[in-house]
Amino acid sequence: MVKVFSPAKLNLYLRVLNKRPDGYHNIITRMQKIDLMDTLEFREKGSNVVLRCPGFPQLENNENIIYKAVKSLQEETGRNFALEITLHKLIPTAAGLGGGSSNAATTLMTLNKMFALNLPREKLMAMGARLGADVPFFIYGDQAWASGIGDHLEEAEKLPLLWCVLVNFRVEISTREVYEGLNLGLTNSTINYNIPRFSTVTEIAEGLHNDLEKVSFGLFPELKAIKREMLEAGALGALMSGSGPTIYGLFDHESTAQQAVEVFGENKNWFVKTVRPL
C-alpha cells in the first residue's frame, strides 16, 4: 500500500483576461499550496480500479477525476492497473481550493512512480491539463504564477512566514457558472495589469485580488459579509480563493489567526481552519 498526501491551494491573485474560442478563459494567477491535505491510499488489488471515499459515497463513481487520471495513464502507456484507491477527504469539495485537481495530480504522480512508468514531469503536466486547468500546477510545485488557462507555469517566490484562516459556509459553487457569469466576449485585445510583489506579508495583503469575487458575491452575498468579518477579526487582508466559496484571511501571528478561528468557529456547520503555505 502506498499512502500519499494531496494538498489544497489558494489563489493570492487572479485576473481573468478574456474568453477563448474553446470556451475557456485566459487568466493570470498566483497559486500557493497549503498544508490542508486529503490522503490517498493505493493498493494493488483485484482486476480493475475501485475507488472508495469514506463519508462521501457521491464521489465513488467513474466521473471522479481520480478515475479519469487513471484512465489517462492507461491510455498513454497501454497498461491496465488493478487498484483499490481510498480517498480520505479533508478538503471541502467545489470550494475553490483545488481538491479534485490535486487528487488527479497526486494520482498521476503516484502511479507513475508505483509502476515505474518513467513519464517525465512535462508529460504528466500535459496529461493533467486535459483533466482540468489546475492539475498541472499540483504537479509543478508548491507555488507558481500560472497563465493561459492555468497550464503555463512559472516559478514564484516562497512566501514569508504567515498564517491563513479558511472559512467555508458549506455551499458548493460551480466554477463554470462563475466564469460564465463574467459575461466576457471573445476578444484579442490586450489587457493591461500589474503583477504585485509578494515578498512581505504586507505586500501580499495589499496585492490580494480575485476578479471572480464579483460574480460569486452576487450569487451568495454571505461571502462578502464573511470577507468583511475576516478583516474585522484582524486579518491583514482577505480574499476568496478561486471561484469560491472559501474566504481566507492573512495573519502574521498565529495567536491572532486562532482568535479569528474562534470567532468563525461559533458557526458549527462551517468549515473553519488555520493553514500554512507549503
Domain map (residue ranges) of the chain: 2-155, 163-275
Poorest-pLDDT segment among 35-49, 191-205, 227-241, 263-277: 191-205
Q: Which band of pLDDT confidence, cut at 50, 70 and 90, is reported for residue 24?
A: confident
Q: Which band of pLDDT confidence, cut at 50, 70 and 90, is reported for residue 185?
A: low
Q: What is the pLDDT of residue 13?
A: 97
Peptide bond into 54 cis (omega under 30): no
Q: In the numeric block, which cell numbers belong to residue 243?
A: 471561484
How is domain 2-155 classified at the CATH fold level? Answer: Ribosomal Protein S5; domain 2 (3.30.230)
The answer to whether the CB of 30 falls within 8 A of the CB of 198 is yes
The answer to whether the CB of 248 falls within 8 A of the CB of 95 is no
The answer to whether the CB of 102 falls within 8 A of the CB of 38 is yes
Q: In the numeric block, which cell numbers belong to residue 139?
A: 504537479
Q: What is the pLDDT of residue 22?
A: 82
Which strands sit side by side in the sheet containing 271-275, from one edge to the other?
Answer: 237-240, 247-251, 163-168, 271-275
Measured CA to CA, the distance from residue 236 to residue 197 in angstroms comes to: 16
pLDDT in tens, 135-180: 999 999 999 999 988 889 999 999 999 999 999 998 888 888 888 8
The answer to whether the CB of 161 falls within 8 A of the CB of 84 is no
Using DSSP, how many helices (H) and how many strands (E) does the chain show? 9, 11
DSSP 58: G
The answer to whether the CB of 240 falls within 8 A of the CB of 249 is no
Is the model's pLDDT at 187 over the cut of 60? no
Q: What is the pLDDT of residue 14?
A: 96
Q: What is the pLDDT of residue 176?
A: 84
Q: What is the pLDDT of residue 20?
A: 82
Q: Which band of pLDDT confidence, cut at 50, 70 and 90, is reported for residue 47?
A: confident
Is the model's pLDDT at 188 over the cut of 70? no
The answer to whether the CB of 249 falls within 8 A of the CB of 231 is yes
Which one is predicted more confidently, 18 or 259?
259
Domains 2-155 and 163-275 share a fold: no
Q: What is the pLDDT of residue 270?
A: 94
Give the whole-number percent of the chain exceeding pLDDT 90.
78
Residue 41: count of CB within 10 angstroms of its CB: 15
Give me the residues paired with residue 250 across strands: 164, 237
Inter-CA distances, 39 with 9, 51, 139, 197, 236, Å: 15, 13, 16, 33, 31
236-240 mean pLDDT: 97
80-85 mean pLDDT: 94
Active-site annotation, residues: 9, 134
Superfamily, domain 163-275: GHMP kinase, C-terminal domain (3.30.70.890)
